[in-house]
A = this chain, B = another copy of it.
Amino acid sequence: MTTTTLSHDALTERHRPTLEQALEAIRTRAYWSPHPEHPKAYGETAPADGQAAFEALRGTRLDLGQPGTDGWAGGEVSPYGVELGVEYPHPDVDVLLPAMRAGMADWRDAGPELRALVCLEILARISARTHEFAHAVMHTSGQAFMMAFQAGGPHAQDRGLEAVAYAYAEQIRTPLVADWSKPQGKRDPLELRKAFTAVPRGIALVVGCNTFPTWNGYPGFFASLATGNPVLVKPHPRAVLPLALTVQAAREVLAETGFDPNLVCLAAELPGEGLAKTLAVRPEIKLIDYTGSTAFGDWLETNARQAQVYTEKAGVNTVVVDSTSDYAGMLSNLAFSLSLYSGQMCTTPQNLLIPRDGIATDAGHKSYDDVVADIAGAVGKLLGDDARANALLGAIVNPGVRERLDAAAGLGEVALASREVANPDFPDAVVRTPVIVKFDGAKPDAEAAYMSECFGPVSFAVAMDSTADAVELLRRTIREKGAMTVGAYTTSAEVERRIEEVCFEESAQLSLNLTGGVYVNQTAAFSDFHGSGGNPAANAALCDGAFVANRFRVVEVRRQA
């Protein structure tokens, strides 16, 4: 038994106000975050301390003290060319899974509030190490430092906290006890005492992704843990470190708060092992959160029938360009969206649908060729300076992305060629600007290209016969391929209405006329939904009631009063 060094009272004092604010934020969906975005907010020595902590991890064995470790796995190489050399525990599943269940009853009995507070303490520990996590995310995802810091740090922590808030709110919808008295006319009433307990489903499996290990991992991780389930994290083999540090922080807090640290474990895999497939169909695994390819997401949904499966898969994101009252703003906004993290976001626009007869703008009529050339120009200008390009683009995360990028240039007429950007800090990093390829939407043979997800810095400018055709292609794309995001530029109320209607009918999240500092590929926790859960790109939204409500069940015990 572990000794409790952090009491319920201390946790309440430290985190209850934050929980209340998070609950309020998901109700109002106004801007809120307890996690500062600016690196300087973490203290003067934090940048150096964080970097030192990251460097100290390199070439070490991260022994998390888990039971059932039968070997060590590792081999991460940063997209920036650095070998991490960290080793992680590889599980003997038959030993680890039962050990993870040992602390379940205590964790269940802790109840929703204490579980939420423990989760908030885990997030606080992670937040305190944000600089260290930033390096870990940078050197696994290839995100540039500032993005790794923000998306991998405060934004990911926000998404984790949001999931805790939803999980807590969901569990306390049913009271702990109820006295039930049913009148019986002149006879005595029927009286029962009822007790309601939120019970966990079983062990939750989080299958991490390469590009956003924390941001995409935290919602499922914290939603499952806060609803009473042990969580086993199977990271992407190229992005283990950020989730291993997360598991480390969670185990530390669980032990200090008197719970079994084995409620949270890591399952690192050996090269080519395919451990997620083995784990996903184990009877002990009752919840699975997955971000990644459609093929494996579909496999999970089809085969892991003993579990609730939450998947974020591939999609084809569209921007309909109909007209604009701020042409320059549209160009710079789109250029940023296409460039950020080399388009390696599930939310990056891929298809830009533009009427072949051109569009009306505040800068006069622009032909299809004008618009494409101007977007290409805006991207070129945005990324013209190598230092700025490196800061925006990050590194190509894996050879597959580079291959797709190289192949894209052969698909059609290239409006903007990709160029290699030298990175003086990391000479081995592969840094590439986006390619934009032109297609004629009226030619059916082009469809195979732009109707498939081409993950990475590849966009297609598709000439459409009309905006109406663009809206219909948008509908078909969402319905058949899924979409995490939809963007549109229009000054026409009627076009706006028709695009909204398509998004309502096909269940896709829409950003209209973004011309400033908010981008279609970015969503903010507590306010924006990430995905809708209603089209093929994802079967769940981050984060809503449906994302948490089935991670636990309520068991009622009723007794005669």
Task: Give residues in A with beta carbon < 8 Å to B.
Answer: 26-31, 105, 108, 170, 173-175, 178-184, 190, 192, 194, 196-197, 199, 201, 301-302, 305, 500-501, 503-505, 507-518, 524, 527-529, 532-534, 541, 544-546, 549-550, 553-560
Whether B29 contacts A528 by the Cβ 8 Å rule is no
Contact of A529 among B105, B181, B554 (CB under 8 A): B554
**Main SS of the interface on chain A?**
mixed
Whether A29 contacts B504 by the Cβ 8 Å rule is no
A513 to B561 CA separation, bound complex (whole angstroms): 10
Cβ of A529: which chain B residues have Cβ within 8 Å of it? 554, 556
Question: What is the oligomeric copy number?
Answer: 2
A559 to B503 CA separation, bound complex (whole angstroms): 14
A500: nearest chain-B partner, CB-CB:
B557
Whether A541 contacts B554 by the Cβ 8 Å rule is yes
Whether B528 contacts A541 by the Cβ 8 Å rule is no
A178 to B32 CA separation, bound complex (whole angstroms): 12
Given contacts A180-B524, A182-B524, A512-B557, 19 further A-B contacts (CB under 8 A): A29-B174, A29-B178, A30-B180, A30-B181, A190-B516, A500-B557, A504-B555, A508-B555, A509-B556, A510-B556, A510-B557, A510-B558, A513-B559, A513-B560, A518-B558, A518-B560, A533-B550, A544-B549, A546-B550
A26 to B554 CA separation, bound complex (whole angstroms): 13
Interchain nearest-CB distance for A240 vs B (Å)? 32
List, sorted by A's number, 12 A–B pairs whose CB atoms are closer than 8 Å. Answer: A26-B173, A27-B175, A31-B180, A105-B504, A105-B505, A190-B517, A199-B534, A513-B559, A514-B560, A528-B556, A534-B555, A544-B554
A196 to B3 CA separation, bound complex (whole angstroms): 46
Contact of A170 among B505, B510, B528, B545 (CB under 8 A): B545
Contact of A553 among B197, B514, B533, B556 (CB under 8 A): B533
Whether A179 contacts B517 by the Cβ 8 Å rule is no
> A517 with B178: in contact, given A544-B549, A545-B173, A559-B512 (CB under 8 Å)?
no
Contact of A532 among B170, B518, B555 (CB under 8 A): B555
Cβ of A196: which chain B residues have Cβ within 8 Å of it? 29
Contact of A507 among B28, B29, B182, B553 (CB under 8 A): B553
A516 to B28 CA separation, bound complex (whole angstroms): 47
Whether B199 contacts A505 by the Cβ 8 Å rule is yes
Cβ of A28: which chain B residues have Cβ within 8 Å of it? 175, 178
Cβ of A194: which chain B residues have Cβ within 8 Å of it? 29, 527-528
Cβ of A27: which chain B residues have Cβ within 8 Å of it? 173, 175
Interchain nearest-CB distance for A549 vs B (Å)? 4
Cβ of A509: which chain B residues have Cβ within 8 Å of it? 555-556
Interchain nearest-CB distance for A227 vs B (Å)? 11
A541 to B192 CA separation, bound complex (whole angstroms): 20
Cβ of A197: which chain B residues have Cβ within 8 Å of it? 504
Cβ of A507: which chain B residues have Cβ within 8 Å of it? 199, 553, 555
- Top-6 shortest CB links A-B: A534-B553, A546-B549, A29-B178, A545-B549, A546-B550, A512-B559
A514 to B558 CA separation, bound complex (whole angstroms): 9
A174: nearest chain-B partner, CB-CB:
B29
Whether B515 contacts A560 by the Cβ 8 Å rule is yes
Whether B31 contacts A518 by the Cβ 8 Å rule is no
Interchain nearest-CB distance for A494 vs B (Å)? 15
Interchain nearest-CB distance for A533 vs B (Å)? 5
Whether A517 contacts B199 by the Cβ 8 Å rule is no
Interchain nearest-CB distance for A559 vs B (Å)? 5
A183 to B507 CA separation, bound complex (whole angstroms): 30
A172: nearest chain-B partner, CB-CB:
B27
Cβ of A511: which chain B residues have Cβ within 8 Å of it? 557-559
Whether B516 contacts A560 by the Cβ 8 Å rule is yes
Whether A504 contacts B190 by the Cβ 8 Å rule is no
A199 to B190 CA separation, bound complex (whole angstroms): 41
